[in-house]
Structure 1
Amino acid sequence: MGRIARGMVAAMLALAPPGAAAHPHVFIDTGLEVIFDADGRLSAVQVVWVYDEFYTMLALDDYGMDPEFTGTVTAHEREQLAAIYANWDPGYNGDLRPLLDGVEVPLGGPTRVVADVQDARLVIAHRRVFADPLRLEGRELVLRVYDPTYFIAYTIASDPVVSGRGDCAASVHGPDRQAAEERLQAALDALLASGADPWAVEAEFPAVGADFAEEVRLTCGGPS
């Protein structure tokens, strides 16, 4: 599986109205830390996902955890959650796309996965490692965070952290939301005009997630 529990997707869809209001279904506040090695090369990205309370409630119920809805989990349940969210579907990229000079750079799968529930919200932290650490001097790295299907809405909720170098600048940039909403509505209008059932739009929902992507832009000075 990826980052969404399969058993609750049907419940979310059943509660959602047809049309543009049906997306997104899940909301995740995201934190990013870029990690440099001793040679000043970008070696990994630490990612933190903080899920919304509704998803958290459905997820814990789906997993048979926290039956009293206290918003907390035991140490054993934290271990179980970490194992669940470390098990990604083949080909899933973690909804994180690093672009170096506009070219996507591959990342490894999740490592050091840690899970908890804080303030009734599921928190998943994991690390992604570059197979070949990156030299960034004179180049720009962009970390784009989005779900192509827009089932999930990601928000970069805190300033990115830079570890291992002191001469790098990282800034958060958001989409043109009005333009993104207009493109989404136009795509939905075209889909419905083609005769699609409004209640079946989910199966053919336009891949507009990139239009809503938030991103971190990272640049560095000379070698550390």
Structure 2
Amino acid sequence: MIRTRSRTALFIAAVAAALVPLLRPSPARAHPHVWVTAEATPETVDDKVTAIELSWTFDPMLSAVLIQDFDRNADGRYDADEQAALTAELLKNMSEYGYFTHIQVDASFVDLAGVDGMAAAIGDKVVTMSFRARLTEPVDPRKHRITLGVYDPEYYIAFDLPAASLHLNAPPLDLCRPVAREDTLNPIYFGYVNPEVIDVVCPAR
């Protein structure tokens, strides 16, 4: 039986994946409840990818709750204390799910070393959260195929990361191109959904 929660706790827990054990979905409920538009920018050091800068913009319904409950002085922005409270709540329990950021190197998943630089902002009545996901080991994109996916394996949250939203600016990524596809080898949600991923295709050295 699902415990009664306030609407704030319900939405926050959805984003932080805290509801996954309580709302274990079945194939009959194959639809998300929270929508997030994502952007990503890989960082490089010595021509190797070391981290991914991520930006998540929440849907208007969730944003309205986050603004009401965390913009405590109702001035239309988050100050330092409000940002700290919001990002701490949103990121709580997300490490268990890899921050919904899935990186493959040569078709093998790699772990993240963690995240830092969390921030939140209000713009046009929607909330955007940004953070930096660090790779455990640097990866040379000219020698290895990097694949990025931002998705919730439980399909409670729907992430949208178009190929054009993967910004390949840092050398040598500025010579590469993003190619979106369905990952048919790693389906989610009981095997019913193929997540959208993006391959970083670079010219050989």
TM-score, length basis structure 1: 0.68
Residue of 24, 35, 43 corresponding to 1:27: 35
Give, in whole Å, the separation in 2 of the partners of 1:82 and 1:10: 10
Matched residue, 1:43: 50
Select the residue among 48, 61, 66 that pairs with 1:59.
Answer: 66
Summarize deviations over 1:20-41 as a string: whole Å, max 9, x none: 576211000000101111x111
Give the alignment partner of residue 117 of structure 2, picking from 109, 112, 115.
Answer: 112
For 2:114 and 2:12, locate their aligned partners in 1 and report how far apart those are by CA, in whole Å.
Answer: 27
Task: Give the conservation status (yes or no) of the 8 Å contact 1:49–1:124.
Answer: yes
Q: Distance in 2 between matches of 1:212 and 1:77?
A: 36
Query: 1:54 is aligned with what amino acid?
Result: M
Question: After TM superposition, what 4+ stretches of structure 1 lie above 4 angstroms from structure 2?
Answer: 9-13, 18-22
1:160 maps to 166
Partner SS for 2:84: helix
CA apart distance, 1:150: 0.8
Max Rg structure: 1
RMSD: 3.4
Q: What secondary structure is seen at the aligned counterpart in 1 of 2:176?
A: strand
Q: Which runs of 5+ in 2 are unaligned?
A: 1-6, 20-25
Cα-to-partner distance string for 1:77-118 (whole Å, 9 max, x where unaligned): 233223333434452201111111110011122200011121
Alignment check: 8 A CA contact 1:8 1:59 kept = no
Distance 2:27 2:153 in 1: 17
Mean CA deviation greater in 157-166 or 143-152 = 157-166
Q: How many residues align?
A: 183
CA contact (8 A) 2:40 2:52 kept: yes
Matching residue within 199, 202, 205 for 1:217: 199
Which residue of 171, 176, 200 maps to 2:178?
171
Q: 1:142 and 1:27 mapped to 2: Cα distance?
A: 22
Residue correspondence of structure 1 range 94-113 to structure 2 within 5 A: 94-113=99-118
In the alignment, structure 1 segments of 5+ residues that lack a partner are 177-182, 185-205
**Cα distance in structure 2, aligned partners of 1:11 and 1:86:** 10
Residue by residue, what CA displacement relative to the aligned partner does 1:4-28 show, whole Å, maximum 9, x if unpaired?
Answer: x971249999xxxx98576211000
Distance change (3 Å), C-alpha of 1:58 and 1:172 = farther
Work out which of the residue numbers 106, 111, 127 in structure 2 matches 1:122. 127
